Structure 1
Amino acid sequence: MPSQKIAIALLLAIPATSWANPNDVVLSRLTYGFTRSEEDPDVTSRNVDSDGDGIPDREDPDALGSDCGTGTKLCAAHQWAYRQLVSQLGRAFAPKLLSTPRTLGWNGFYVGLEGTLTGIDDTARYWQLGTEGKLSDVETLTGDPEPVLFVPTVRIRKGFPFGIELGTGISYMTATELVGLGLDIRVAPFEGFVRNIGYLPDIAVRGAVNRVTGERELDLTIVGLDVSIGKRFGAFGQISIAPYAGWQHMWVIGDSEVVDTTPERDAWAECAPEWSAEARCIAADGSRADRESCESAESGFAWQADYVCTSEAGRDDYENNVVFARETLQNERAFFGVQLIWEHVAVTAQFDLDLTRAETVEASRQWNTSLGVGFDY
C-alpha cells in the first residue's frame, strides 16, 4: 500500500505538459495583440489594422504572433493562421479510396492496414506557433514539425448486392492525439464485365466522411465525394493488376472550442472578485442598461448585486478567451493508383494531389502518398 501511494504521488507530480506530443495543436498561440482604447472600447470586435496596410490583423500574416496577454495588450484570434492550419490538417485525414472502382460483391469482406504520408508547409509560422513542439524546447514555445505527417489507418469494407459497398476505418496521426473515425458508401453502376462490352472500365461513385477528434480545442470534419475509373487485368498467372484514377471534391470543416490564449495566467486571481450591491444596472424588462441610468435614479432601472473584479484591469484576462470562426474549405483533388491482387491478398498504392486550393487558403497545394495491405474474403 505505501508503494502504491508513492507511485500515485509521483504521477500527480509530473507536469501535464510532459504528456504532450510534438505535433499537438496549440491554438492559443495563433493570436495577435491589440490595446483596448476609448476609440474602440468593444473588445469583442477586435477589428484593428495595426500597420495600416488595409488588412485587418486577424487576416494579416505579419500580425501573427504579435505580443499579447501582457500589460495592456489583449489577445485576439488570428483567423488567417487558423484557416491555413485547418486546411493542411484536414487534408492529412482526407478520405482515401485505396481500392479499385470494382466493389467486393455481396459476399465480399475486406480488412486492411493503410498508411498515408502528407506533405505540409512545415516552415510556415502558423505550423510552428500552432504545434506543441518538443519538451526540450521550452524557451521558444514553438513547434518544429516534420515536412510530412503520417496517418496509419485500419480499414474495413463490406460488399452488398447491386454494386454497393460500405466501409469504415479508424485513423491516428502520429506525434499527436488526433484520431479520425470514417464512414463511406460506394456504388459501382458499371463493373466486372469481361465479355462483349467488357473492354470498358469499371466506374464507381463514393461519398465519405471522416470525423477527427482528440484535441480539446479543435474538431475537424472532412467530407469527400469522388468518382473513380479503372480496370483489372490478369498478369503473371495468379496475380492481377488493376490501375485506377479519379477525382474528388472535398470539404474541410474546422470548429474551434473556447481557447484560453493566456493559459499561464490566472484570470480569477487577477480579478480578485468582491461582492458589490451595484454590480450592474438592469432595466425593468431585465435587459442590461448603462450604469448612468441607475446612478441618476431613473425610473424603471435598478442595481443588481453580484461579484465584480476589484479593478477594470483585473478583468482583462477574461477577454483573452477567444473562439475561432468556423471554417468550411473546399477544393478539388485528383488521385491515381494501382492494386496488385494475389488470391485473397491485395496491395494498393495511391497518390493524391490538390488540383485547386480553397479561395481563402494561401497554403501550398498538398499531396498524399498512401500504401495499403489487406485481405478480402
Structure 2
Amino acid sequence: MAPRPVDPADSLGLSAFAVSADIGINTLSGGEAFWADTSSGADNVAPSLQVMGRKGLWPGLEIGAGATHLFDSRMWTISGYGKIAIHEGFHHTPIPSIAVRGMFSRLLGSRDLDLTTVSADASISHVFGVGKTFSITPYAGYQALMIFARTGVLDATPGHDEFSDGPQPCENGEDDCTNRGEMVFRQQDVILRHRPFVGVRFIFSVLRVGLEAMFVPGGSTTSDVELLGGGTETVSDQSGLQQQYTVSFGLDF
C-alpha cells in the first residue's frame, strides 16, 4: 500500500503534467502461520491499483498525489510525493539523470489498523530516443521505507462471548482471560524496509507505458508486546523476501 515510484529520474518539466494508473502484484508468504491462521488464510499475492497525477515545476522539481486501492478489500491509501532532479537533461550523451524523492501515504478504510508510511529514494535513469516520437527510459534506484503502525481495539477472543459463555482460561493457567480479551497495540517501533527497484518507461507521443520490479528483503526488527494474563514477549519480524511487479499506463502532456 506504500506509494511506488514507477517513474525515472527526469522531471516532467515546467509546463508538463502526467496521469497514470499502475497495477501492482505484491507477493506474500501465504503459507506462514501469521497468514494461514487467519479465518480464511491468505493468497500468495495481493493485487493493488495506484492512480497518480504528476506536475512538473521549476527548476527540476516535480510533485504528485494519488490513491492506492487493495483489491478485495475496503482499504485505500492517499499518498503524495515531491521529487527534485539534481542532474538531468543530458539526453544525447551517456550521462545519467539523478533524482531524489520523498513520498508518504496514509491508510483509510480499516478501523483495526492505523498505518502511515514515509519513504525517501534516489534513482538514476537515461533517455534513449527512437525516431522523433518514441523514447525508452530505463531506470534503477533504492528506496528506504519507514512504516508507522498501531492498532485500534482488537478482540483476542472473537468466538467467545464473556457474558453468555462465562470465563475462558488463559494459556498461562489463569482462570479467566475474557477480561483481557480486548487490547490495543499502541505506537510500535518504526519498521524499516529496504526497497531496491528497477524499471523502464516507454513513451510514444503522449502515451506512456511503464514496467517496474521492486525487491524487499525480509525484516529483522523486534518489539516487546504484552501478553494476555500479564508478562511480555519479544516478537521478531518474520516477513520474508517480498517482490512487487507493476505495470503502468498513462498520458504525458
Calculate the TM-score normalised by the size of structure 1: 0.58
Cα contact 2:116–2:147 (8 A) shared by 1: yes
Structure in which a larger fraction of residues adopt helix: 1
2:197 counterpart residue number: 335
1:359 counterpart residue number: 221
Cα contact 2:218–2:240 (8 A) shared by 1: no
1:254 matched to 2:122: no
Q: Aligned with 2:109: secondary structure?
A: strand
1:157 counterpart residue number: 54
1:368 matched to 2:244: yes
Q: Distance in 1 between matches of 2:53 and 2:220?
A: 31
- Mean Cα displacement is larger for which, 325-334 or 258-267? 258-267
Structure 2 gap ranges (5+): 167-173, 223-236
1:174 matched to 2:71: yes
2:185 counterpart residue number: 324
Q: Which residue identity is paired with 1:323? A: V
Task: State the Cα distance separating 1:265 from its structure 2 match.
Answer: 4.1
Task: State the Cα distance separating 1:333 from its structure 2 match.
Answer: 1.6
1:221 matched to 2:83: no
Q: Distance in 2 between matches of 1:184 and 1:237?
A: 30
2:126 counterpart residue number: 231
Equivalent residues, number: 231
Q: Distance in 2 between matches of 1:237 and 1:229?
A: 23
Structure in which a larger fraction of residues adopt strand: 2
Q: Aligned with 1:176: secondary structure?
A: coil
Q: CA RMSD in A?
A: 2.1
Cα contact 2:217–2:242 (8 A) shared by 1: no
Q: Which residue identity is paired with 1:120? A: L
Counterparts of 1:274-293 in structure 2, within 5 Å, are: none
Identity %: 27
Q: List per-residue Cα deviations over 1:270-319 (Å, max 9, x = no partner).
A: 79xxxxxxxxxxxxxxxxxxxxxxxxxxxxxxxxxxxxxxxxx9985232
Q: Distance in 1 between matches of 2:125 and 2:218?
A: 23
Q: Aligned with 1:127: secondary structure?
A: helix
2:171 counterpart residue number: none
1:115 counterpart residue number: 23
1:95 counterpart residue number: 3
Task: State the Cα distance separating 1:153 from its structure 2 match.
Answer: 1.2
Structure 1 gap ranges (5+): 1-92, 131-141, 272-312
Task: State the Cα distance separating 1:267 from its structure 2 match.
Answer: 4.3
Q: Distance in 2 between matches of 1:194 and 1:176?
A: 43
Task: State the Cα distance separating 1:253 from its structure 2 match.
Answer: 1.9
Q: List per-residue Cα deviations over 1:182-233 (Å, max 9, x = no partner).
A: 11110101111246xx431111100001111211111211211100000001
1:211 counterpart residue number: 106
Q: Which residue identity is paired with 2:192? A: Q
Q: Distance in 2 between matches of 1:355 and 1:230?
A: 23
Cα contact 2:53–2:66 (8 A) shared by 1: yes
1:127 counterpart residue number: 35
Task: State the Cα distance separating 1:122 from its structure 2 match.
Answer: 0.5
Task: State the Cα distance separating 1:179 from its structure 2 match.
Answer: 0.7
Task: State the Cα distance separating 1:143 from its structure 2 match.
Answer: 1.6
Counterparts of 1:180-199 in structure 2, within 5 Å, are: 180-194=77-91, 198-199=93-94
Cα contact 2:6–2:248 (8 A) shared by 1: yes
2:96 counterpart residue number: 201
- Mean Cα displacement is larger for which, 319-328 or 207-216? 319-328
Q: List per-residue Cα deviations over 1:229-279 (Å, max 9, x = no partner).
A: 0000112552100000001111122211111223344446679xxxxxxxx
Q: Aligned with 2:8: secondary structure?
A: coil
Counterparts of 1:132-147 in structure 2, within 5 Å, are: 142-147=39-44
Q: Distance in 1 between matches of 2:122 and 2:206?
A: 25
